[in-house]
Amino acid sequence: LACWCTMLEKKYQNDHDGGFIYVGPLGALALTPAMILDWCHAFEAGEATLSTSPNIISFDIAHKTP
């Protein structure tokens, strides 16, 4: 999992504030450490790729507060 986390962090690093941003089809989404870990688990299970986030509630923009 650590390898996937490192790859995700490198790909989605925000140079302006040190955070991580995924820009998907519905817009930008700030990635928390828990979301990165969820993504890694989904990647291991074959349910996501480095370019496609997992289809889980933590990545659903409709459930995020503005």
- Higher-pLDDT residue of 27 and 46 is 46
Q: Decide if 4 contacts 40 (C-beta within 8 A).
A: yes
Q: pTM higher than 0.75 for the full model?
A: yes
Mean pLDDT of the chain, nearest integer? 91
Q: Taking Cα atoms as reference points, which of 33, 29, 11 lies closest to residue 21?
A: 29
- Higher-pLDDT residue of 8 and 62 is 8
Listed by start position, the domains of the chain span 2-63
- Where does the pLDDT of residue 66 fall: very low under 50, low under 70, confident under 90, or very high at 90 and above? low
Give per-residue pLDDT as tens, 38-62.
999 999 999 999 999 999 988 887 7
41 half-sphere exposure, CB direction, 13 A CA radius: 8
Start-end of H helices in 1-66:
2-12, 33-44
